[in-house]
Structure 1
Amino acid sequence: MPDRITANLPAINFDATEAFYAPLGFTASWKDSGWMILRRGSLELEFFPFPDLDPFQSSFSACIRVDDLDALYADFSRAGVTNDRCAIPRLTPPLTEPFGLRLFALIDLNGSLLRCIDNKATERLTQRT
C-alpha cells in the first residue's frame, strides 16, 4: 500500500453520515461504535463519534485532491445536495480562484468542509514557483 493520509472528521450519527455519503458514491469499509471508514475508490474518509457537535459551529475540514474535478462534481451533483449557501449540507459549484486554484466545496451534514481540488490546476501553480 502506498503512503497516504486520510481525513478524520466528526459524525453526529454514523448511520446518518453513512446515508448522506452513499449517494456521493462512498461505502462503509469499517464501522463500529467508535470509528467509521467510508471509501469511494481511492478516496477515504474516517469518522469519529461527536454526538454533541453543532454543524453550524464546526471548523472541521479536509481536502480531496482529484485528477478529474468536473467528473467528481457531476457525480456529487447527482446526489441532490442543495447549493443554498446558507444550508447544511450544501455543495458549491466549481470555481477558479484568482491565483489559479480550481475547486468546489461540499459541506456535509455534520458541518465538515470538504474542499475538492483539481490536481491539474495545483500542478500548474506549483510549476510557476
Structure 2
Amino acid sequence: MVDHATPNLPARDLDATVEFYSALGFEKVFGDPGWLIMQRGTVMLEFFPDPGMDPASTASSCCLRVDDVDALYAACAATGLAETHLGWPRLHAPRVEDSGMRIGALVDLDGNLLRLVQNPEAG
C-alpha cells in the first residue's frame, strides 16, 4: 500500500453524513457511534461526531486531489447541490486559479470545505 493520509472531519450527525456522502458516490467502509469512514475510489474521508459544531464558523477543510476533477464535480452537481457562495451544502465549479491549478470546492452539510483539486500529472 502507498503511504497516504486521510482527513478527519467533524460531523454533527454521522447518519446524515453517510446519507450525504453516499449520494456523492462514497461508500461507508466503517462506522460506529464514535467514528465513520467513507470511501469513493481511492479517496477516503474520516468523520468524528461533533454534535455542537457550528457549520457557519468551522475552519475544517481538506484537499481531494483527483485525476478527474470534472467527473467528481459532475457527480456532486448531479445530486442537485447548488453552485453558490452562500450556505451549505454547496458547490464551486473547478477553475484555473492563480497557482495554475484547476480547483473547485464542495462545502458539505457541516460546513467542511473540501477543495476539489485536479492532479497536474493527470490533467
What TM-score bracket applies, with the shorter chain setting the length? over 0.9
Other structure's SS at 1:73 match: helix
CA distance in 2, matches of 1:3, 1:72: 23
Tell me which amino acid in the other structure corresponds to 1:118.
Answer: Q
**Residue 99 of structure 1: CA displacement?**
2.7
Larger Rg: 1
Q: Deviations over 1:8-34 (max 9, x none)?
A: 000100001111111100111000010
Structure 2 residue aligned with 1:127: none
Structure 2 residue aligned with 1:101: 101
Structure 1 residue aligned with 2:36: 36
**Residue 98 of structure 1: CA displacement?**
2.1
Tell me which amino acid in the other structure corresponds to 1:71.
Answer: A
Asked if 1:16 corresponds to 2:16, the answer is: yes
Q: Deviations over 1:62-108 (max 9, x none)?
A: 00001111111111111111112112110111111123111100000
* Structure 2 unaligned spans of 5+: none
Question: TM-score, normalised on structure 1?
Answer: 0.90
Structure 1 residue aligned with 2:87: 87
Q: Which runs of 4+ in 1 moved over 2 A?
A: none
Structure 1 residue aligned with 2:76: 76
* Structure 1 unaligned spans of 5+: 124-129
Tell me which amino acid in the other structure corresponds to 2:110.
Answer: N
Tell me which amino acid in the other structure corresponds to 1:77.
Answer: A
Question: TM-score, normalised on structure 2?
Answer: 0.95
Which structure is higher in helix share? Answer: 1
Other structure's SS at 1:45 match: strand
Question: CA RMSD of the aligned region, Å?
Answer: 1.3
